[in-house]
Amino acid sequence: MLFLRLVGYCLLDNHFHLLLWLHEDGDLSRWLQWLMTSHVRRYHSSGHVWQGRFKAFPIQGDNHYFTVLCYVERNPLRANMVARSQDWEWSSLQPTPRSGPAGLLSNGPLPKRSQWTRFVNGVETEGALASLRRSVVRGTPFGESSWQHATAAE
């Protein structure tokens, strides 16, 4: 079994977001396939469980990492499911004993900025959201344009 570090998550009705920090490249597809098929076998005997195949992409640097983490933890607020992001129980922003065991979350490669919850609940720019969604839809690296092209070519 692979050892992945879970940095951020948000579980919703029909999809979820995971921000994972790998120890080594590779094997992400195999681990996610195990996760998804284990879930299907345990809870559902047939039919579609999730909206589609997972999307994975590398993140360039510090600011891009924080943009992705904020996107993940802000999801229930963006979907108008809560008045404040931290009110969603199934998220890494304000984990509870019901949403996962102690030690589930890694601190990540960078410490969260001060007043992180206020930042997550703050104004989300259309430009950052559009740029991130483009990476999600295309499965392309998230970062500066020159870095995206160099990473995609590797």
Q: Summarize pLDDT for 73-86 with one digit per residue, the tens.
A: 999 999 999 999 99
Q: What is the pLDDT of residues 122-146, one digit of tens each?
A: 988 898 889 888 888 888 888 887 7
Whole-model pTM: value is 0.79
Length of the chain (residues): 154
Our count of domains for the chain comes to 1
Element housing 76 (H / E): helix 62-78
Q: Is it the case that residue 59 has pLDDT exceeding 60?
A: yes
Confidence of residue 150 (pLDDT cuts 50, 70, 90): low
pLDDT of residue 87: 95
Structural domain for 143, as ranges: 4-153
pLDDT tens-place string over residues 11-34: 988 788 889 888 777 667 777 777
CATH number at residue 80: 3.30.70
